[in-house]
Amino acid sequence: MSKFWSPFVKDLVPYVPGEQPKLTKLVKLNTNENPYGPSPKALAAMQTELNDNLRLYPDPNGDVLKQAVARYYGVQGNQVFLGNGSDEVLAHIFHGLLQHDQPLLFPDISYSFYPVYCGLYGIKFDAVPLDEQFQINPADYAKPNGGIIFPNPNAPTGCLLALEAVEQILKASPDSVVVVDEAYIDFGGETAITLVDRYPNLLVTQTLSKSRSLAGLRVGLAVGHPDLIEALERIKNSFNSYPLDRLAIVGAAAAFDDREYFDKTCQLVIDSRENVIGQLQAKGFEVLPSAANFIFARHPKHDAAGLAAKLREQGVIVRHFKQERIAQFLRISIGTPEQNQALIDGLSDL
């Protein structure tokens, strides 16, 4: 039936999401979901919104949520863009801000959706190698480009780039949009949103899927100069003018307003991460320094694919990437203490 396809479709190489197994008894440490549930205040706000008003369209601007984000970060409402998960926000960014003659720059080991979007929107790119320690070197990005994008902390490595280093990249490319993808920033990093008023070329994206435990709600955002946000609004309103439903708008706003629950659950994940790192290192694993809710680890004496298969036999799923430079690493999400113990137990005979 592919005779009905538009010509470009056959050349697309789509993104492959982490496995979502149907079995319930598995310990699922492969998709970086938060082990702790959403804020009770977010759930209560959504319950309240679950009424006859669902027959009405939501606010196309999502102003209640934009104002909650603006309050949280100390920015203006016209500096905030909302989307259906940060992947949709990123899609609009690639489409509206990163299609230029010069190549887009991003790390060679990074979020694997970036090259997918380049394929979708016909964008040339240059994958910049991480250094020997799997870190981003800002100097490597000081060359002609049509834009720069990188996750911070990086994924799947978990390594954090200091804010001064982010600034170095911004200063070296004042005429290009620099996108900092902060899906995991709340687990140990400092957001670059503090820099948006000083750098009109900076755009920061975030998601509520990780640190705010709302992966099932699909809410993402971007913060930057109003001119960048206006470009995204033009794309969005030419594509889907009502991306966020009524439940998502009020639930996400309540999640931003509940700082106490947010701080508590982030700290629980951070504490568990450090505990798991210590236990894995005691078993001989090399673990990259992580500021995310996952770790990236390899063992000098054991093949990563074999370890992943061994863990799976014991009901623990982790993520293994086949990309050559990282084929001996496993990306392991941080779970509850019980889930983390199941991981360690699964590796007990190393």
pLDDT at 172: 98
Domains along the chain with CATH numbers: 2-37+260-346 (3.90.1150.10), 40-258 (3.40.640.10)
pLDDT for 19 equals 73
pLDDT band at 15 (very low <50, low <70, confident <90, very high): confident
Cα(131)–Cα(22) distance, integer angstroms? 38
At 90, the amino acid letter reads: L
> pLDDT tens digits, residue range 25-39?
789 999 999 999 999
| pLDDT score for 316 | 95
Residue 90 has a pLDDT of 98
Cis peptide before 21 (omega within 30 of 0): no
pTM of the model: 0.95
From CA 137, how far away is CA 261, in angstroms rounded? 35
CA-nearest of 172, 162, 224 to 193 is: 224
Tell me the pLDDT tens digit for each residue of 151-170.
Answer: 999 999 999 999 999 999 99
**Residue 1 pLDDT greater than 60, yes or no:** no
For 55-93, the pLDDT digits (tens) are 999 999 999 999 999 999 999 999 999 999 999 999 999
Instruction: Read off the pLDDT of residues 252-272 as tens digits, 9 standing for 90 and up.
Output: 999 999 999 999 999 999 999
* Strands laid side by side in the 80-83 sheet: 80-83, 220-224, 202-207, 178-181, 148-151, 104-107, 125-128
d(CA 35, CA 187): 13
Residue 217 CA to residue 31 CA, distance in Å, equals 15
pLDDT tens track for 318-340: 999 999 999 999 999 999 999 99
Residue 350 reports pLDDT greater than 90 = no
CB-neighbour burial class of residue 268 (10 A; exposed 0-12, middle 13-18, buried 19+): middle
Per the CB < 8 A criterion, the answer to whether 303 and 330 are in contact is no
Task: State pLDDT tens for residues 203-240.
Answer: 999 999 999 999 999 999 999 999 999 999 999 999 99
Reading the block at residue 47, the tokens are 């319950």
